[in-house]
Structure formats: C-alpha cells, structure tokens
Amino acid sequence: MKISKTKLRRIINEESLRVLSESESKRKSEMKQFVESRGGRKMEGAGRKISSAASVISELAGEQTGTMRDTLYGISEFVEKVGASLSGMNMLQEGESAADQLPSVKELKQIERAIRKLEQ
C-alpha cells in the first residue's frame, strides 16, 4: 500500500489533533488544582472564618436601630457571600464558577453609599 506525502502528513496531523484534544479534556483547570491542594484547603477554612464573621456582624446589627441596623445587615450579607464563595470552591459542579457566587459590584456600591450616609 502506497501513501503519498500529503496523505501521510494529513494522517499525522489528524492523529496529533486527536491526541491533543484527548489530553486537554483530561487536563484539570488551575483552579481545580489549587482547590485540591493544601493551599486550597486553607482557603476553604479562611472562607468559613469569614462566614462566621458575617454571623457576628449580623448579631451586632440586631442590637442596633434604624439605618445602622440596615447597613450592618447589608454588610453581613456581603461578607457572607464572600465567605461562602471561598469556602465552597471545592464543591463547584461542572460549568459553575466561583465568581458567580461572589457579591456584585452593585451590592458593594450600595454598602458604600449606606456607610457614607451614616458618616454624614
């Protein structure tokens, strides 16, 4: 069986593309590698600590009145979202992103406005 140079080159290219696509499908993302590492476990613990700080802020909000109470509740919700995002990175399903769990810029700006209002 004779094979021309062009046909042989095409076969080699097709096979190399197939091998590359297989290796990329098995490759772990950098985030997944980090989450499975010691550092990732430490970050998960830090996320839990941040979430517990949010609980403390929420308790403090319950002791306040008016705008201070609303502002502290807003801060506690924001901090809770940050903590949950960090502590839950290892539980993400395929197609989910840790960034989706973070609070939005809009939420941060609302807190900033509320704090500025309290300072006046």
pLDDT digit string, tens, across residues 22-77: 666 667 778 888 888 899 899 999 999 999 999 999 999 999 999 999 999 999 99
Beta strands of 1-120 (E only): which ranges? none
Spell out the long-range contacts of 111-116 with Cβ–Cβ below 8 A and sequence spacing 24 or more.
Answer: 111/71, 111/74, 111/75, 111/78, 114/67, 114/70, 114/71, 114/74, 115/71
Mean per-residue pLDDT over the chain, rounded: 87
pLDDT digit string, tens, across residues 80-104: 999 998 888 877 766 777 788 889 9
Cβ neighbors of 110 (< 8 A, separation 6 or more) are 74
Percent with pLDDT over 70 in the chain: 92
